[in-house]
Amino acid sequence: MKALSLRELEAAARALLEPGIHDLFAGGSDDEVSLRANEDAFARVGLVPRVLRGRGAPRLDTELLGCRASMPIVLAPTAFHRLAHPEGERATARAAAAAGAIYTVSMASTTAIEDIAQAGGPLWFQLYLQPDRGFTEALVRRVEAAGCKALVVTVDSPVFGRRERDLRNGFMDLPAGMCCENMRPLGPNCERGPARSIAFSPTLSWADVDWLRELTSLPIALKGVLHPEDAKRALDSGVDALFVSNHGGRQLDTVPAPLELLPPIADAVGDRLPLVLDGGVRRGTDALKAFALGARAVAIGRPVLWGLAVGGEAGVAHVLTMLRSELERALALCGCGSADDASPELLHFSRWEPRWRTS
């Protein structure tokens, strides 16, 4: 039986995956406070629909960082798709291409970017700036040659988050025959998990973003900007978008849900930078709430891995189909003709103390 929702799909994936791999995908850092907060934040915001607005069937197509997309739902970068399914990132890329959705390929993909690009859909490439600028430059040239349309630079990882599920399970390295293919020129370390094959560096600074801006003409998004002051600083660095993301609760724990941090960031950047929100998006209504608070698009991480585990390409296609139709329905039920129609007037924030009529 096909899953009717992303939550059903997650349960099906959990039953199929080897427990250590499930934990690797599902887990967060430390006490997983942020991990839980991400989904909870959406449940705590209500929707108050507008009626009789006659906006017609909602349109989902959009343009982001110069890329046409059939919907404002992007595949977030997640590592190691071949741990979920033997066809790994190739299957993900085919499903995304068929759906006309943008797929952000992780630098820690277990398939080389050139092979992923064969699917022909719009691709962005997620980059961890490496302290070895020569390596970063070579990788950027590879990514440009492969036809990727933008770089998504993850800036929330000066060091690797502590993921206790992985420590408990002893998950340190990829199984034999699998590696971070985009890291290959670095030699034997590409056979390792991301904590050991990719360098995470606390010395990185805005100067490195400036350097990258000079290096490439590809649009650049910064992923993991959560402080409004950093969002303002990003305006000066010539970047083209921000991902408001806490890395799915896998880096600094107790960071609030991105949904809650979105309004101050949207205030800080106004219309000058498009915002992509990720973290806990599991329903079309979640996406709509993010749009109402200023996101131009949302990105999904784990649901893609659950789809891949359950059905390979067809499983990822099912994830995208479900979310697309949920978003269409949510927009229509709120009287919106597109994501641009979503505004804070649709949102209801519960207060702790109900206001009673006293007279």
Ligand X SMILES: Cc1cc2nc3c(=O)[nH]c(=O)nc-3n(C[C@H](O)[C@H](O)[C@H](O)COP(=O)(O)O)c2cc1C
Q: Is 82 annotated as ligand-binding?
A: no
> Cβ 81 to ligand X, closest distance in Å?
9
> Cβ 302 to ligand X, closest distance in Å?
4
Q: What is the 3-state secondary structure (H, E, C) of 88-137?
A: HHHHHHHHHHHHCCCEEECCCCCCCHHHHHHHCCCEEEEECCCCCHHHHH
Our CB check for ligand X shows the closer of 301 and 341 to be: 301
Note if 247 is an active site residue.
Answer: yes
Q: Candidates 301, 307, 311, 315: give the one binding ligand X (CB under 6 A).
A: 301
Residue facing ligand X at closest CB distance: 301
> Cβ 110 to ligand X, closest distance in Å?
11
The residue from 227, 247, 318, 348 that is catalytic is: 247
**Distances from the Cα of 117 to the Cαs of 6, 16, 83, 93, in angstroms?**
26, 28, 19, 8
Considering only the stretches 44-52, 163-171, 226-234, 245-253, report the one whose residues sit in contact with ligand X under the rule CB under 6 A.
245-253
User: Among positive and negative, which fits the CA dihedral 125, 297, 209, 246?
Assistant: negative
Confirm or reject binding of residue 181 to ligand X (CB under 6 A).
Answer: no
How many residues at the interface with ligand X, by CB under 6 A? 22
Amino acid identity for residue 197 in this structure: S
The two tokens of residue 88 are 């790994």
Q: Is 223 annotated as ligand-binding?
A: yes
Q: Candidates 72, 88, 121, 279: give the one binding ligand X (CB under 6 A).
A: 279
DSSP assignment string, 153-189: EE-S-SS----HHHHHHT--BPPTT---GGGGGG-GG
Assign 331 to helix, strand or coil: helix
Give the footprint of ligand X on residues 203-242 (CB under 6 A): 223
Indicate the helix (H) or strand (E) that contains 210: helix 206-215
DSSP assignment string, 241-280: EEEE--GGGTSSTTPPPHHHHHHHHHHHHTTSS-EEEESS
> Cβ 226 to ligand X, closest distance in Å?
12
Considering only the stretches 3-11, 143-151, 297-305, 349-357, report the one whose residues sit in contact with ligand X under the rule CB under 6 A.
297-305
Give the footprint of ligand X on residues 48-107 (CB under 6 A): 76-79, 106
Give the footprint of ligand X on residues 108-167 (CB under 6 A): 108, 126, 154
Burial class (CB in 10 A: 0-12, 13-18, 19+), 168: exposed
The two tokens of residue 102 are 């943008």
Give the footprint of ligand X on residues 318-347 (CB under 6 A): none
Confirm or reject binding of residue 306 to ligand X (CB under 6 A).
Answer: no
- The residues, any chain, with a CB within 8 Å of residue 33's CB and separated by 6 or more, are 249, 253, 254
Known binding residues for glyoxylate are: 128, 163, 247, 250
Known binding residues are: 77-79, 106, 126, 128, 154, 163, 223, 245, 247, 250, 278-282, 301-302
User: Could you list the residues that contact ligand X (CB under 6 A)?
Assistant: 25, 38, 76-79, 106, 108, 126, 154, 223, 245, 247-248, 250, 278-281, 300-302
The catalytic residues are 247
